[in-house]
Structure 1
Amino acid sequence: MARIGVIGFLHETNTFAPDVTGLDRFEEADAWPGLTEGDAILEATRDMNLAVSGFIATMRAAGHEIVPLLWCSANPSGPVEDAAFEAITARIEARLRGQALDGLFLDLHGSMVTQSLDDAEGELLRRLRAITGPDLPYVAALDFHAILTQAMVDRTQAMVAYHSYPHVDMAGTGARAARMMQRLLAGETFFAAWRKLDFLVSMPWQGTLGDAPAGALMAAARALETEDCPEVQFIPGFPLSDTPESGPGVLAYARVPARATHAVQTLVREIEARRDAFSGRLYSPDEALDALAGRDAGRVILADTQDNPGGGGSGDTTGMLRALLDRGVGRACVAIVCDAAFARAAHALGAGARVDLPLGGRGYPGDEPATGPFEILALGDGRFVGTGPFYLGCRMDLGPMARVRRDGVEILVSSRKQQAADQAMFHHLGADPRDYRILVLKSSVHFRADFAALADEILMVKAPGANTADLRDLAFRRLRPGVEIR
């Protein structure tokens, strides 16, 4: 039986977002647990679609001892404050010192940027290696949008990334990490090969469902895997992180270096052949509503992708909401608008009352609130369990919530931002997404896991927000030379 330490420190950093991510954002719960230390991690993450959950369950089933140290995450947002990174890293270091471990599992995102560090994960690994030495087996789980760096590859024995977007396989990725850890503990050695690609892929076009190019590439990667080359990965990266290392990566592990190199070269050729397929149409709010004009049947999802909290959006922009109200479009629902003050006021007034306060429109420069009055239809405490494939088992805590209506448009309001990717968010407030003709969901791709089956059509809408969908709208300053912005 081996003793395996467990650490989690996750943040997807949108360097273009106007906010800064402080320690409080890691301490508070949202869809996932807040900062948790020691044995409390075991219960806090149990039975969730999280890499840490899958790793712990798999290793314990194999008879190994788990030593939980610290786990935390913060919703995607602007750069992490240096002070927050230092505080959390110091707590991890303090818990790691003196531990007699046979291996260390790290649940990481892979695209954390602080005020001073382009590669926060690489620096975290450097500091941990200073405590444990270079030989302790490190296996890391990475997000689908991780940004690979040489420091990350050099300081781990293996890294495994999610295969799917929507990320329905996060727990499964943890189980893959556990299998790699067990092989390392058994004395196997794996050699890494990797390659950085010279273009950026916008978030809406990274999805793996249907005939999406990323889905075909994931299948191509699986076809290259063997017992001797167990991991071949296409990791599309997070395009809203403006650093010299940004861009997709290909990573493989094999018992023989030449096998890993061959797998990487083969997959890179497949990716390059599909480079032009990573594209799609973006609609302005008015263009989207024009496209729906005159339709009497069918349900349409308008993905408010640029205000996706899962990519650093504030979750409170009102461009799409105001377009619905201005055009007099009924049987529509907008989810989720984050406005804690509005939610508190709604709770103070109670269901059935009317709240005449501005809603949203404060988190993104140039935006403006939607005006009331709004009828309060239902209230909730924001605590519920995710039921869809992406948020499955997640014990959410979004703070006081409300469902309100103005002129035939309903809005789900939360106190903490979270992308609309689970029908449980509707059910918590007594709503059924099937009752609406138009669903406006603040999400880019994750919503597809639980909502796509409800829709006759899905349009990607480019309303104002920090999760920029057309990368040509951004002024990148720090990319390495030769990177193509698509």
Structure 2
Amino acid sequence: MKVFIAGFQHETNTFAPSKADWAAFNKGSSFPPYRRGAAIIEAYTGKNIPVGGFIDAAGENGWSLVPSAWAGATPSAHVTEDAFERISAAITEDLAAALAAGGLDAVYLDLHGAAVTEHLEDPEGELLARIRAMVGDDMPIVASLDLHGNITGRMLTVADALVAYRTYPHVDTADTGRLAAKLLARRMARGSREPLHVRRLSFLLPLNVQSTMIEPAATIYQLLKSLDTTHDAVLSFATGFPAADIAECGPVVWGYGDDAEVAVSTLFARIDQPRAQWRLDLLEPREAVARALELAESASKPVVIADTQDNPGAGADSNTSGMLHALLAEGAGKRYPGQVALGLMFDPAAADAAHVAGVGAQVELSLGTQVPTWGGQHSDAPVKGIFTVRALSDGQVLAKGPMSRGSMVSLGASACLEIDGVLIAVASGKSQMLDREFFRYLGIEPEAMKLLVNKSSVHFRADFAPIASTILVAKAPGPMAADPADLPWTRLPATMALQP
């Protein structure tokens, strides 16, 4: 069997300040850079990425692959029209050539599910529709999706089968590519589409409560797997990305199989009630630091605070200073000199200044950026002061944590800066703090810290939960609203509740 493969990955926060242009898809910071053709097979075979899992499964099944383009960019505001159309054109041009050569049997796409472009609310649905128009109604099209996808009716209608991640932090990305291959094999064996059943939830889920490492999501995804087995179905629960102002934003449950309707209904009922299970506990910045310092007195492991509203994995730029202000105001670094760290702070100018000054030098800086959030609000002003340069790096980091193990991440010119005993990991590339190596490459040993502030919402838990005594979530001003009710929505239907 000959399968055409391609990918388009972007999680769009329509309330965020920075867009994803063509350069963003070629950057290769927290997402791999744009690749086309055989380079996809070479780069992703055996890697923990959906297309990597599909490639591995295809090899086991004896399938032949026709690789096209794979494009991914760090979450941000809208994908520019130019970037999307370039990516779409590459994929459809390659598909046209593959069809002309003959013998193509199926299409697999590695998609996110929560992209929004300058000109399209549902670019994944549009891409699927363009491909469907080229291959006809009978050729199978399957796709893997992110757990945070805002899955549209068009996507479900056009594709033969879709399947989403089942973990957050996303440690099962390659496994999801394998599930897509399983769905394709089921579709080919059956000779027609499997029955599809869909239920859409009527409330938005805050990002922080979606983690499958905590309740209720941990139990819910265990139930999903059990229902798969019991009903010979393939189920998905996309929790949604609650910062995309589109008509079909929100959680969706769906499944494939002759008995999938019962399985979907059972899973939906467990998710829908009681809604209080999804309530969110957030702390103000200084409150979070004060509590962390209190806990740290008797803790043998670091206390970790998530700076969730500046999460670059959800559309922020990892450059706000609210939590740094709180650390300084509470005297965290003076109580535990050199044992309090924050990262990653995206500030290329500060990193460059540190490199010019050199290790051991003191530099006067304005660290961080005041950025617009929503409703005319802004994040905190930069932190101005004298910083000591403790370490420097070119930013080439080998990730070793569960999410990105084995991947080289390009964070650009980087520096460890210290002010009043607080260490700040400053980078010129955007990535959330999801791997301990993102501290360690600048000489900060996470395990030796009393307090860590991570610019992340949930992904950090995969590598930091094993070393944390306690995890707190802080609501410092930033572009990624921890509470969807804070956002000025315009496109959501009136029936969609902003809170559970």
TM-score, with structure 2 as normaliser: 0.93
Cα 1:359–1:186 change in 2 (3 A) is same
Q: Which residue of 1 aligns with 2:424?
A: 411
Q: Which residue of 2 aligns with 1:357?
A: 365
| Structure 2, unaligned runs of 5 or more | 334-338, 373-377
Contact kept? 2:206, 2:280, Cα under 8 Å: no
For 1:54 and 1:327, the matched residues in 2 are separated by 46
Percent same amino acid at aligned positions? Answer: 41
Q: Which residue of 1 aligns with 2:253?
A: 250
Paired residue for 2:238, among 232, 235, 238? 235
Contact kept? 1:47, 1:393, Cα under 8 Å: no
Q: Which residue of 1 aligns with 2:464?
A: 451
Offset of 1:228 from its aligned partner?
Answer: 6.1
Kindly provide the amino acid, as one letter, of the partner of residue 192 in structure 1. L
For 1:456 and 1:159, the matched residues in 2 are separated by 38
Correspondences of 1:3-402 after superposition (within 5 Å): 3-99=2-98, 100=102, 101-189=104-192, 190-210=194-214, 212-226=215-229, 229-254=232-257, 256=258, 259-295=259-295, 296-298=297-299, 299-330=302-333, 331-364=339-372, 365-402=378-415
Q: Could you give the per-residue CA deviations for residues 412-465 of structure 1, whole angstroms, max 9, x where no partner exists?
A: 111111100101112222221011111000011111100012111111000011
Contact kept? 1:144, 1:164, Cα under 8 Å: yes
Kindly provide the amino acid, as one letter, of the partner of residue 471 in structure 2. I
For 1:93 and 1:392, the matched residues in 2 are separated by 32
Q: Are 2:446 and 1:433 equivalent residues in the alignment?
A: yes
Q: How many residues align?
A: 481
Kindly provide the amino acid, as one letter, of the partner of residue 265 in structure 1. S
For 1:351 and 1:95, the matched residues in 2 are separated by 49
Contact kept? 2:307, 2:474, Cα under 8 Å: yes
Q: Which residue of 2 aligns with 1:480?
A: 493
Q: Are 2:472 and 1:469 equivalent residues in the alignment?
A: no
Q: Could you give the per-residue CA deviations for residues 39-86 of structure 1, whole angstroms, max 9, x where no partner exists?
A: 111222233221111111111132221211000111111011112211
Kindly provide the amino acid, as one letter, of the partner of residue 339 in structure 1. D
Moved over 6 A (4+): none
For 1:279 and 1:119, the matched residues in 2 are separated by 29
For 1:47 and 1:318, the matched residues in 2 are separated by 38
Kindly provide the amino acid, as one letter, of the partner of residue 150 in structure 2. I
Offset of 1:275 from its aligned partner?
Answer: 2.0
For 1:186 and 1:351, the matched residues in 2 are separated by 63
Offset of 1:363 from its aligned partner?
Answer: 4.1
For 1:456 and 1:79, the matched residues in 2 are separated by 37
Offset of 1:362 from its aligned partner?
Answer: 4.1
Offset of 1:209 from its aligned partner?
Answer: 1.0
Contact kept? 1:32, 1:395, Cα under 8 Å: no
Kindly provide the amino acid, as one letter, of the partner of residue 464 in structure 1. P
Cα 1:430–1:90 change in 2 (3 A) is same
TM-score, with structure 1 as normaliser: 0.96
Offset of 1:110 from its aligned partner?
Answer: 0.2
| Structure 1, unaligned runs of 5 or more | none
RMSD: 1.5
Higher mean C-alpha displacement, 287-296 vs 433-442: 287-296
Contact kept? 2:434, 2:456, Cα under 8 Å: yes
Q: Could you give the per-residue CA deviations for residues 110-167 of structure 1, whole angstroms, max 9, x where no partner exists?
A: 0111122111111111111122222211110000001111111111111110001111
Kindly provide the amino acid, as one letter, of the partner of residue 366 in structure 2. P
